[in-house]
Amino acid sequence: MHQDAHEFLNFLLNELVDILEKEAEAAKADAAETSSPSEKTANGPKNPQANGVLKEPLVTWVHKNFQGILTNETRCLRCETVTARDETFFDLSLDIEQNSSITSCLKNFSSTETLNAEDKFFCDKCCSLQEAQKRMKIKKPPHILVIHLKRFKYIEQLGRYKKLSYRVVFPLELKLSNTMEDADSEYSLFAVVVHVGSGPNHGHYISLVKSHNHWLFFDDENVEMIDESAVQTFFGSAQEYSSNTDHGYILFYESLGASSKS
Amino acid sequence: MINTTNGMISTSSSSTANPQSPGLKTYFKTPEGRYKLHYEKTHLSGLLHSAHGKTVTQVTLAHLKDKPAPSTPTAPTSSFSASSGVRSAAARLLGAGNGSRALSFVGGNGGSKSLSGSSRIGSLGASSSSNSITNTNFDGKGTYLIFNAGDAIFISDLNSQDKDPIKSIHFSNSNPICHAFDQDAKDGHDLLIGLISGDVYSVSLRQQLQDVGKKLVGAQHYNKDSSVNSSRCTSIAWVPGGEGAFVVAHADGNLYVYEKNKDGAAESSFPVIKDQTQFSVAHARYSKSNPIARWHICQGSINSIAFSIDGTYLATVGRDGFLRVFDYSKEQLVCGGKSYYGALLCCAWRCSTFFYTVACCLLRLKSILFPQIPSLLFDIEYSKFLLNSIDAKYILTGGEDDLVQVWSMEDRKVVAWGEGHNSWVSGVAFDSYWSSPNSDGTGETVMYRFGSVGQDTQLLLWDLQKDEIVVPLRRCPPGGSPTYSAGSQSSHWDNVSPLGTLQPAPSMRDVPKISPLVAHRVHTEPLSGLIFTEESVLTVCREGHIKIWIRPGVVESQSSNSESMLSTSSKDKPLLSSKVGSSSYKQ
């Protein structure tokens, strides 16, 4: 059984949060008189944690680095009421298309989708199921933007998962323009998790990490320095049947600091 | 008549454009009519060796004229690099509907040496009698596509329906990656080839066509064994009007200037670059050696370069996302700016067909009517005219932000972003043969047509209305006041930036957006380039497949040109019409 790197990443981050919270709790119990400074910030009650921790949320370094906020806006087509719901995220899972770019996948992610027919929206104002328009906006871009490409897709006709080897190009620099913030936030690619293999049930993972301005290639115990231009060999295959099975799967972008700086 | 022609087109496309890839249409619609897939060109993929690194196919259009008599001085047309269509574009200006005939007439009267029209029939006879291209009498006249794939350069005849190349040249120790052709090159070396290893060759295209072998013949070798620069060549260009000078851009951010008449044996050396982030120019210490200069332009790769048509400006784009425009002779940065984000991959200048055509006509007339006047005198007047009239106002770029960028030389900044590609933009070009349907000379609604291709396998065509790019986008943020006053019709919503500075990346909301007129999926593979010719649009994919999309109007004009030909078999017949003749004399 082949494990999923994205699942592992989620598990790891949530587990880290759990551990950090437990530690903070223990620290609080140990030294009740001196509360740990700055680690605990009141975040307001409107912001429940994604992992279901409803008690006073603790902002750990995991949150500070990885957490962003999405706004799910739904506009009822009958009464025009806009319902906005905030969700926190550690990564964005994007649907992919053949011969597309991350920019295009992000655009699709936040494009307007119409809810109709079987998939109507329950409008609280109209008190009934209505046609509606829905879109996702990034309200608060995270410091580290993790992009997960949905390469493993359940194909109904086949009754099983299939790996999509699509060529999805990712630039070394990226901007999010669909945010609700005034300035476009700028990111720089610093790591890529690559899935090697043709199917969803077997394969191997390798990773590329930028460290001190050099790209390093990690394959189990082998670590090599590679040229920046080698990153593009992991974009995917432009044709369905190709000998190339090394495909970028999870991308890590780091914010370039001051958001207004261009 | 139209039906007959359509018949011919469909036969040829059914034989060559077999839908190996279902879902791809063999035409696309535009307001002016249908562009139809005419021919496809490719290479024998089984022969490809990519041992020296992955390559992306680029294509160069090469128009070989009549074999010049060695003593004949060439008309001073070397400042033009756009090769095809000069003849007929000029003729169109002379007011005749049937362009080629009108020009043949002019040429015939003047006993022209450089016009190709008049002597075509003669050369047809010659080529039909010799079936083999190995014949050294083969004068090679025609229009060719030069493209690289794997370890080879391939040459195809643009106007033959043959899918396979007529010539392949293999390189044993590295892969060719970029090339350039100058139809007015003086001493025969008209083709430049740059390799992954950094090596550069100049050769005569005609000589390659005449040779039977699979190796480069009669080549001049520069940067031999990477002695000057070992990083890959990325882009190569003849300097327009540069008397055999050419420039080669490399992946390490350096650009070298060579002169082909200089002794290749003595290699220049240059001082160490002190500051990698700064633009600097170093000249060779010895005047006899090549390259004659090194321009350090940027950190990271230079991805593409382009000269303005008169050679005044050199534009470069690169890994750092900056477009830079240099005054070539002064070796100075004029202006430039950053992409929205990511590297820029391609760039192209706007050139006006009209002025180009006028200029060409003047040159032709001069050489016919006053062959005794020294070129120089005329050239000065002529260059003045050219400089005043050439519409080198816009540069297109494309890159990793999926945007097509329109850069204005007047404003020295981005004036429009074209949104429509779903992946990186890998090729951009103005369609200088296209004329706006409502261009009645009033100049009120000047429109430009340009095209772009991307890694999304699509060809996009765009119309750029001049009004569109001078009126800034006005944004009303929710609950805020409009950023720009609604009454302002100023072409500058910002101040023009000072000369010689680079602009930072604009914000998404500050740049007017334009949408494509047409978006058409043309290949199954990511695309790498496009070329507009008078009769067609060429698209090429990274793997080396080329498609030739014939323009809507061309079919009709061909039919009126060549009824006699179309009523009979088109094969193996000396063709009287120069236009069709040029397209199939090789058969």
What is the percent of chain A where pLDDT is above 70? 88
Q: Which of B266, B240, B245, B242 is nearest to B256 (CA)?
A: B245
Question: Residue B42 in contact with residue B156, Cβ under 8 Å?
Answer: no
Q: Which residue of A has its CA nearest to B232?
A: A229
Q: Which of A101, A175, A177 sits opposite B422 (nearest CB)?
A: A101
Report chain B residues touching chain A, CB-CB < 8 A. 54, 251, 300-301, 321, 338, 340-343, 400-402, 421-424, 455-457, 504-508, 524-526, 542
Q: Which of A171, A177, A228 sits opposite B508 (nearest CB)?
A: A177
Cα-based distances in Å from B374 to B111, B244, B318, B371: 18, 21, 42, 8
Q: Residue B445: what pLDDT?
A: 58
Sign of torsion, CA A63 A68 A70 A71? positive
Q: Strand (E) positions, B150-270?
A: 152-157, 167-170, 176-181, 191-195, 200-203, 220-222, 233-238, 245-250, 254-259, 263-267
Q: Which residue of A has its CA nearest to B508?
A: A177
pLDDT digits (tens, 9 = 90+) for B356-378: 555 555 555 655 666 555 554 45
Q: What is the 3-state secondary structure (H, E, C) of B443-467?
A: CCCCEEEEEEEECCCEEEEEEEEHH
SS3 at position A108: helix
**Which range has the worst mean pLDDT, A163-167, A181-185, B6-10, B528-532?**
B6-10
Q: Which of B456, B460, B494, B521 to mutate to test the interface with A (most CBs of A within 10 A)?
A: B456
Q: Which of B25, B161, B56 is nearest to B540 (CA)?
A: B56
Give the DSSP letter of residue B9: H
Q: Residue B492: what pLDDT?
A: 38
Q: Residue A45: what pLDDT?
A: 43
Say which residues have a Cβ less than 8 Å from residue B16's Cβ, sequence separation at least 6.
B39, B40, B161, B163
Q: Residue A1: what pLDDT?
A: 55
Neighbours of A24 (CB within 10 A): 16
Residue found by looking up tokens 């309200």 in the block: A139
Say which residues have a Cβ less than 8 Å from residue B137's Cβ, sequence separation at least 6.
B126, B130
Q: Residue B356: what pLDDT?
A: 53
pLDDT digits (tens, 9 = 90+) for A1-42: 578 999 999 999 999 999 999 998 888 888 765 544 444 444
SS3 at position B435: coil
Which stretches in chain B have pLDDT values below 70? 1-22, 45-53, 67-139, 263-266, 351-392, 437-446, 466-497, 555-587
Chain B interface includes A242 (CB < 8 A): no
The CA-CA-CA angle for residues A223, A226, A229, to 5°, reads 150
Question: Residue B268 in contact with residue B228, Cβ under 8 Å?
Answer: yes
Question: Residue A99 in contact with residue A238, Cβ under 8 Å?
Answer: yes
Residue found by looking up tokens 């986008």 in the block: B473
- Single pTM value for the model: 0.78
Chain-centre distance for alpha carbon B399: 18
Cβ distance A104 to B402 less than 8 Å, yes or no, reads: yes
Distance from C-alpha of B427 to C-alpha of B397, rounded to nearest angstrom? 8
Q: Residue A212: what pLDDT?
A: 93
The architecture CATH gives domain A5-44+60-261: Alpha-Beta Complex (3.90)
Q: Residue B275: what pLDDT?
A: 86
Distance from C-alpha of B451 to C-alpha of A20, rounded to nearest angstrom? 55
Q: How far is A183 from chain B (nearest CA, A)?
A: 7
Cα-based distances in Å from A86 to A17, A69, A83, B86, B469: 20, 6, 10, 61, 38
Chain B residues within an 8 Å CB radius of A238: 457, 524-526, 542
For A176, the enclosing helix (H) or strand (E) is: strand A173-176
Chain B interface includes A210 (CB < 8 A): no
Mean local confidence (pLDDT), A74-81: 89
Q: How far is B320 from chain A (nearest CA, A)?
A: 10
Distance from C-alpha of A151 to C-alpha of B122, rounded to nearest angstrom? 61
**Which range has the worst mean pLDDT, A69-78, A240-249, B198-207?**
A240-249
Q: Strand (E) positions, A28-155?
A: 68-76, 82-89, 92-94, 100-101, 113-115, 121-123, 128-130, 132-140, 144-149, 152-155
Distance from C-alpha of B247 to C-alpha of B258, rounded to nearest angstrom? 6
Distance from C-alpha of A15 to C-alpha of A53, rounded to nearest angstrom? 13
Distance from C-alpha of B187 to C-alpha of B68, rounded to nearest angstrom? 10
Please determine, for residue A68, whether its predicted confidence score (pLDDT) is greater than 50. Answer: yes
Question: Residue B50 in contact with residue B151, Cβ under 8 Å?
Answer: yes
Distance from C-alpha of A54 to C-alpha of A236, rounded to nearest angstrom? 41
Q: Which of A71, A102, A103 to mutate to test the interface with B (most CBs of B within 10 A)?
A: A103
Cβ distance A262 to B504 less than 8 Å, yes or no, reads: yes
Q: Which residue of B has its CA nearest to A102?
A: B423
Where along chain A do its domains lie? 5-44+60-261
Residue found by looking up tokens 């690559």 in the block: A194
- Residue B281, beta-bridge partner list: B295
pLDDT digits (tens, 9 = 90+) for A82-137: 989 999 999 999 999 999 999 999 999 988 888 888 888 888 888 888 899 998 88
Prior bond to B291 cis, omega within 30? Answer: yes
- Dmax (CA) for chain B in angstroms is 78
Distance from C-alpha of A102 to C-alpha of A174, rounded to nearest angstrom? 9
What is the percent of chain A where pLDDT is above 90? 52
Mean local confidence (pLDDT), A147-156: 93
Both structure tokens of B277: 């982030």
Distance from C-alpha of B185 to C-alpha of B79, rounded to nearest angstrom? 10
Both structure tokens of A28: 């609080």
pLDDT digits (tens, 9 = 90+) for B81-98: 333 333 333 333 333 333
Cβ distance A239 to B321 less than 8 Å, yes or no, reads: no
Distance from C-alpha of B436 to C-alpha of B445, rounded to nearest angstrom? 9
Distance from C-alpha of B274 to C-alpha of A100, rounded to nearest angstrom? 40
Q: Residue B277: what pLDDT?
A: 87
Cβ distance A172 to B54 less than 8 Å, yes or no, reads: no
Q: Residue B231: what pLDDT?
A: 94
